[in-house]
Structures are given as C-alpha cells and as structure tokens.
Amino acid sequence: VALSSCEAEYIAGSYAACQAVWLDSVLKELKLDVEKPIKLQIDNQSAINLARNPVLHGRSKHIEARFHFLREQVNQGSLDVVHCATGSQVADILTKSLKTDRFLNLRRALGVFQFRS
C-alpha cells in the first residue's frame, strides 16, 4: 500500500521504466534507433525529484529497493523524467468521467474520431 501520492507515482514510474528499458532492447534487436534519454512523463513533482536525486531521503528509505530501478536508469542517463501536467494526461479519457469539451479534446489527442456512415 502506498503511503503517499509521491510514493505511488514513484512506484508506477519504476514499473514504466522497466517497460521502457525492455521496449528499448526490443527496438535495438530490430535495428531501430531510439532517441536517448527516453522521456518518462510523471505528474508528481515530488516523485520526479526523488527519481533525480541519488541521495536516499528519510522519506524514501522505506520504499523497497526494487522500485529504485527508476532512479538507477535516470542516473545512468537512459531515462529522463519530465513533468506532465495533470490536464495533459490523455489516459484520463479511459479512467475518468469528463465534461464533453475535455472528452473531445482528449479523444482528438488520441487520434480517435467518430465514424459516421
């Protein structure tokens, strides 16, 4: 159970980092270049600071070591964590009830359109 939104975002970022590194290795096998560092968007500034700072904070020492994969990848230069404003999260269309205008904007951002015959 996550004790804070920072911890929850950091853990989610660590899982995303694992997927990004795996996808990078698959693309390398296919002889496709990936721009480095891979940008990982996180909407929590505290989680971003935790990933960028190699010093273990008192607030983060309870986080299991396996979740520090994100920090390791950032320190190696493989990944860069950048802030993603909450209002820019396209995934909200799948997880939240939205007002019509916001729904239409996010749907457009996904490249989905209404098909009429």
Tell me the pLDDT tens digit for each residue of 14-29. 999 999 999 999 999 9
pLDDT over 90 (residue 83):
yes
Tell me the pLDDT tens digit for each residue of 36-77. 999 999 989 988 998 998 665 666 667 777 788 899 999 999
Q: What is the DSSP string of 18-47?
A: HHHHHHHHHHHHTT----SSEEEEES-HHH
Distance between CA atoms of residues 50 and 59, nearest Å: 10
Report the SS3 class of residue 97: coil
Query: What pTM was estimated for this model as a whole?
Result: 0.75
pLDDT over 90 (residue 113):
no
**The pLDDT of residue 3:** 65
